[in-house]
Structure 1
Amino acid sequence: MKTPLTARDLMTPDVVTVPPETPVIAVARLLAERGISAVPVLGAKGEVLGVVTEADLIRRLAGEEDKPMSWFASLFSNPAELAERYARTHGATAADIMTTSVVTVGEDDTAAHIAHVMEERGIRRVLVVSEGRLRGIVSRADLLRALVAPPPAEEAMSDERIRRAVLAAMQKEPWADSFYTLVDVKDGIVTFHGFMRDAGVNRGLRVLAEGIPGVKGVKDETQPMPMYLFAGT
């Protein structure tokens, strides 16, 4: 089976970077002229120090209208957090306003792993780092290439191997009614028999079966689960 796409396959290797002392106005101009939404900040040895995003620049601009905090409100505030916000909203260089909690992946991490990281962290891009050095950057747009890439060549699988693979996948999912749902495979067509809890489970099992290599189609011949069986679930 074809090896899944990795960060090395998807990343943009020629990444525009800036040193930490770069003026904020120069970073903003760079993003606007290059049509990019973020730029990594690298140290003297090429190590990743942080990244300046459009959000960081907008935060910096919005900070110009911050109102002084009242004496009473300051009693309940965190001085360290206030100082951090002040530095990021009034800083003059990339080092002052950059986001330092940078999410990185390795060159061999798969597209699926990178997508999971992006979704979990709610971010648009990840830096690809190897041996402490920046190797590239993977954006959401790059991940779309993994979706439209030609499907991997499928190995010939017997119906019994497909059936076992479907059952194994069902046992990993807590929502799958593997006890009441039977699986049959003939000529690559997966057929579900027995009882089904609801339409949501039905849809989930169809998608699960379609994801098994060698499956050519899925049929549902299940019946709604009787009430007396619901009582035992």
Structure 2
Amino acid sequence: MLAKDIMASPVITIGEDQNVRRAIEIINATKFGAVPVVDAEGVLTGIVTEGDLLRRISSSNGRRPVPHTRDRKEALADYIKARSWRIKDVMTTPVISAVPTATITQLADLLLAHPIKHIPVVAEGRLVGMVSRRDLMRAIIDTPSESTASGDQALHAAVCSRLESELGIPPKDVETSVSNGLVVLRGEVESSIEREAARVAAESVPGVQGVSNNIQVAYRMLSRLKPPAE
């Protein structure tokens, strides 16, 4: 699933020279907590977020003079962002954006890597849509599940493969048996967290109906951590 499949479009925008009050009106009227900012040619130049607007509230009391210190330039920039009524002064820039063909995984990575909640979708410099965290959550639920393994033998192979490929736990350490879709895990691992990870790996295999985790923790089981003999 791609950004173009889940994005909201069209999106209400605001001009750089418009008033902050207009941004507040748009946010209150739409489901988004942000408003994209475009220039006279319609090119995306910034974004006004709820955080940008909340800064005005937090700084509304106690108007202290800007100090003459080494940080004066930064303090003056904060003063302008907190006091100005012009969108260009308060907007966040540069904007973290995505192309219409970005996958939901790439979109999720962007949201996790940056302190943002909305991603404008841009094609050839023009805003074509917007993706929010809520859109991504909805897409994850709506995404078709992986193909379900058929039969206990197929489930056994899938669980063993996942344990080894994702966790590095070979069949010799953890024995897997499957009956009527129910998985039983037996063996030894190095820690309780690895034991729980093995359970999660088995549960995540499509078609598994339940997991009985009988794995034991052997704290002196360090063979896999030792470097190979020279």
Q: Distance in 2 between matches of 1:158 and 1:105?
A: 41
1:38 maps to 2:34? yes
Partner of 2:123: 130
Moved more, 133-142 or 190-199: 190-199
- TM-score, normalised by the number of residues in structure 2: 0.78
In structure 2, relative to structure 1, the CA distance for the partners of 1:228 and 1:89 (3 Å cut) is closer
Mapping for residues 106-145 of structure 1, pairs under 5 Å: 106-145=99-138
Distance 1:84 1:160, change over 3 A: farther
Query: What is residue 45 of structure 2 aligned with on the other side?
Result: 49
Aligned pair 1:68/2:65, yes or no?
A: yes
- Tell me what 1:6 maps to: 2
Counterpart residue number, 1:93: 86
CA shift, 1:124, in A, is 1.7
Displacement after TM superposition at 1:67 (Å): 0.7
Q: Determine whether 1:25 maps to 2:16.
A: no
Supply the distance in 1 between the matched residues of 2:130 and 2:223 (Cα, whole angstroms). 52
Q: Is the 8 A contact 1:181 1:192 kept in 2?
A: yes
**Residues 78 and 191 of structure 1, relative CA distance in 2, 3 Å threshold:** farther
Task: Give distance in 1, aligned partners of 2:64 and 2:130.
Answer: 37
Q: Supply the distance in 1 between the matched residues of 2:214 and 2:30 (Cα, whole angstroms).
A: 56
Contact 2:38 2:45 in 1 (8 A): yes
The one-character-per-residue Cα deviations of 1:53-107 (angstroms, maximum 9, x if unpaired) are: 1211222344444411344xx1x3252x233212212323111100013222222
Amino acid paired to 2:221: L
Q: Could you list the runs of 5+ residues in structure 2 that have no partner in the other structure?
A: 226-230
Residue number in structure 2 paired with 1:146: 139
Q: Look up the SS of the partner of 1:194 in the other structure.
A: strand
**How many residue pairs align between the two structures?**
223
Q: Does residue 229 of the first structure (1) align with residue 221 of the second (2)?
A: yes
Secondary structure class of the residue paired with 2:119: strand
Summarize deviations over 1:173-224 as a string: whole Å, max 9, x none.
56x5446324455665544332133332222222222333454443333233
Check the 8 A contact 1:60/1:97 in 2, yes or no: no
How well do the aligned residues superpose, as a CA RMSD in angstroms? 3.1
TM, length-normalised to structure 1: 0.77
CA contact (8 A) 2:182 2:208 kept: yes
The one-letter amino acid of 1:103's match is I
What runs of 5+ residues in structure 1 fail to find an aligned partner? none
